[in-house]
Structure formats: structure tokens, C-alpha cells
């Protein structure tokens, strides 16, 4: 695990919903990140399963800071800002077709949030960076402290459509959401178990691993139903 130190060289978004955090820097690499000492397994799993589902979440890894284990969420881009900041800095860009397209391209995150059960979904939790070409944007989701919180024995029926972020809800693309749903459904149960088991027991005890693994497998079958019922697919 990489060692991180607290820094004042930048400032992450204010922690919400109890997910306390602080800005950190990795002395070995110079990388900056958001260090989270609570909800560590949720933040790590939020990133790892996003990779499997093909949706954008900034890299998040286990690390240490002052001897304590943290989840270090790396910055989305050298220049990046959250969705409300784009609106404050440049309302014209915020209201542009290109920005709306970027939100549509990111609407697969709605299927993902439905699957992992993220509860705290604000526009401040959508990070924006420049895309591959000037005028293009790429959007990622941050803050999974409230995810993976279902009780033991969760079923497909426990899946609910997410209540946010507002910017994504207003720019849904059924094809993008559908494609993300297909990817989520295709993740093998063994792969889900493997990812959850990769977290050390001190970070995620065995009982929670069992609850999360079986819940994710069961909930795979409920994502399409929930999204279709809501008219999103």
C-alpha cells in the first residue's frame, strides 16, 4: 500500500454524508488525492466494480496516512472541477450541447448506482475533466461511502433507481444506460466474489464480504427491472 501524507496543496470537495476526508499527496509519485479514513471498503469497491461495469470512477486505492488505512481517491484530471463549478465558472459551457452530451455519455452511471445502491447522489459528486479533444468533456462519479449498504439477504427486488445526481437524471440516454446494464449483468459471480475477497479482512470482515458479494449477485437481476419500470430503458 502506498503511503500518503496530508497536504494543503489543494482542497477536495467538502465531505458529505459522514464520509470524512482530507487532501493527501503521495511523496513517491507526487500524485494528489482525497484521503478517506471512513467507508474505506465502499470507496475501494466503488472504483473496482466501476471498472468491471465500464463506467467512470477515478482510481481509488488502499493506502496509509499517519499509520492509518485510508482509501485514496486520485484526482480525475490535472484540471478538473465538479458539475456545479462548471456552471459557476462558465454558464455558457455548462449549457452547451457538448456538456449535455458528456452527461448523456455518463448516464450509464445511473445503472451502476442502482446496482451498488449509492444513496448520496449530488451534482457535487460528478467530476468533469477535458475530453480527448478540445470542447469535449469526461464525467466521473465520486463518493461511494453510502453504497453497498444493503442488509444480509438482499434480493433483486431491493434495487431502486437512484434519486440523483440531478444533472444525470436530466440527461439520461437510454442506449447508454442499457449498455451499462448489459455490462453489469455480464459480470460473473465468481468475479464479484474475487473482487470483494481482494480486500484485506481488517478492511472488510468476512461477514461483510459475504453480505456484499451475495447482494451484488442478487441485485444484478434487479437492475434492468428497476430501470425499465422507471421508464429509463
Partner 1 sequence: MRIRWAQVEYQPNLQRSATPIPLGVIVEAIHGHRRELVLIGREPKGPAPEFQIDNAWGPFREVATNWFESVWRNTVSLMNEAADNELVVDQLAGMWTSNLYFKEPQSLTVAASKNLLTVARHRYQAFVGERIPPFAGERPRAKPVRRWMNYTLQATG
Helix (H) or strand (E) holding 189: helix 189-197
Distances (CA, A) of 85 to 21, 88, 129, 184: 20, 5, 12, 31
Residue span binding partner 1 (CB under 8 A) among the ranges 127-135, 170-178, 182-190, 196-204: 127-135
CA distance 196 to 44: 10
* Nearest-approach distance from CB 1 to partner 1, in angstroms: 20
Q: Which of 100, 149, 77, 94 is nearest to 120 (CA)?
A: 149
* Nearest-approach distance from CB 87 to partner 1, in angstroms: 9
Residues numbered 60-89 forming contacts with partner 1, rule: CB under 8 A: 74-82, 84-86, 88-89
β partners of residue 72: 35, 61
Residue span binding partner 1 (CB under 8 A) among the ranges 65-73, 128-136, 168-176, 198-206: 128-136
Cβ contacts of residue 133 below 8 Å, gap of 6+? Answer: none
130 near partner 1, rule: CB under 8 A:
yes
* Nearest-approach distance from CB 49 to partner 1, in angstroms: 23
Looking at the Cβ atoms of 133 and 190, the one nearer to partner 1 is 133
Looking at the Cβ atoms of 7 and 158, the one nearer to partner 1 is 7
Distances (CA, A) of 177 to 109, 126, 207: 8, 17, 32
Residues numbered 4-23 forming contacts with partner 1, rule: CB under 8 A: 7-14
Q: Are 105 and 180 in contact (CB under 8 A)?
A: no
Residues lying near partner 1 in the complex (CB under 8 A) are found at: 7-14, 25, 29-32, 74-82, 84-86, 88-90, 93-94, 127-130, 134-135
Amino acid at each position: 500500500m502506498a503511503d500518503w501524507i496530508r497536504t494543503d496543496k489543494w482542497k477536495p470537495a467538502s465531505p458529505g454524508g459522514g464520509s470524512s476526508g482530507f487532501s493527501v499527496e503521495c511523496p513517491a509519485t507526487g500524485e494528489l488525492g482525497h484521503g478517506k479514513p471512513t467507508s474505506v471498503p465502499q470507496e475501494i469497491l466503488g472504483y473496482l466494480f466501476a471498472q468491471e461495469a465500464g463506467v467512470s470512477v477515478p482510481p481509488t486505492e488502499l493506502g496509509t496516512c499517519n499509520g492509518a488505512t485510508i482509501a485514496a481517491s486520485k484526482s480525475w484530471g490535472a484540471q478538473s472541477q465538479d458539475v456545479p463549478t462548471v456552471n459557476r465558472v462558465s454558464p455558457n459551457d455548462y449549457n452547451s450541447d457538448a456538456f449535455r452530451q458528456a452527461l448523456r455519455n455518463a448516464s450509464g452511471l445511473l445503472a451502476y448506482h442502482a446496482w451498488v445502491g449509492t444513496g448520496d447522489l449530488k451534482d457535487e459528486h460528478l467530476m468533469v475533466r477535458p475530453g480527448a479533444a478540445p470542447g469535449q468533456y469526461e464525467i466521473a462519479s465520486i463518493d461511494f461511502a453510502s453504497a453497498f449498504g444493503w442488509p444480509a439477504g438482499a434480493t433483486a427486488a431491493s434495487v431502486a433507481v437512484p434519486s440523483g445526481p440531478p444533472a444525470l437524471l436530466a440527461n439520461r440516454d437510454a442506449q447508454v444506460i442499457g449498455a451499462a446494464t448489459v455490462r453489469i449483468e455480464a459480470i460473473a459471480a465468481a468475479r464479484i466474489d474475487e473482487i470483494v475477497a481482494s480486500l484485506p479482512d481488517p478492511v472488510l470482515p468476512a461477514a461483510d464480504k459475504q453480505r456484499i458479494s451475495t447482494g451484488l449477485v442478487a441485485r444484478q437481476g434487479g437492475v434492468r427491472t428497476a430501470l425499465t419500470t422507471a421508464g429509463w430503458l
